[in-house]
Homo-oligomer: A and B are copies of this chain.
Amino acid sequence: MTAVTNGVNVQALLDAREVLKGAPEAAQFTWRASSTWQDGVHSTTTIQNYFGLGEEQSHKTETVFDADHPAVFAAEDNGITPIEYLLVGLASCLTAGVASVAQNRGIQLRSVTSTVEGSHDIRGILGVDSDVRNGFSGIKVTFTIDADASSMRIVPNVARSFVILKKARSVRARSFQSSRRGSSP
């Protein structure tokens, strides 16, 4: 197996798995977000601190996210909608999953794009029809992967393994694109 340079420290994660087998209390994390109302349906949500490995932890910096609704919902569009933040989480989880699985299998990646599309019948949230599901009716995921192996060696593992994908039960991989090339410089 040639050395791959995807940048994921898989060995550290495998080591952590061993350590946490004997220290389940260290595995108890609490993630936090705090949203402050600005005006209308515009809010700012702050993330910095979390708890894990038995003690308070902190991201390097505080990050603030604007959420709002666009003009078609009679709002000011000062940020993306709350439901789109779910897609940010899902897409970024999938991309990190592809990188991690590829690293673990010794597959060199050149590029990865994970695109998610959530179908949403807004009659649910507006209360037009109580039979309409209030949430996504389906989520499609499309991976575009340029790697030294077929995407099929990576994607099924991601679909089985990652947190958010398990919660979004209707997620399915719709298409795989990949190329096989010799090792790139």
Whether the Cβ atoms of A162 and B125 lie closer than 8 Å is yes
Chain B residues with CB under 8 A of A107: none
Number of identical monomers bound together in the oligomeric complex? 2
Whether the Cβ atoms of B20 and A122 lie closer than 8 Å is yes
Partner of A120, one of B17, B30, B67, B121: B30
Minimum Cβ distance to chain B for residue A113 (Å): 5
Whether the Cβ atoms of B47 and A88 lie closer than 8 Å is yes
Chain B residues with CB under 8 A of A121: 24, 27-29
Cβ-based interface call for A12 (8 A) = yes
Complex Cα gap A116–B41 (Å)? 18
Chain B residues with CB under 8 A of A17: 126-128
Across the interface, name the chain B residue whose C-beta is closest to A96. Answer: B41
* 29 A-B residue pairs with CB within 8 Å: A8-B40, A9-B74, A12-B74, A24-B123, A24-B129, A27-B123, A29-B122, A30-B120, A31-B81, A31-B87, A34-B91, A34-B113, A34-B115, A34-B116, A35-B116, A36-B95, A36-B112, A37-B99, A43-B91, A43-B114, A47-B80, A50-B84, A52-B72, A69-B96, A85-B85, A85-B88, A86-B164, A89-B89, A127-B161
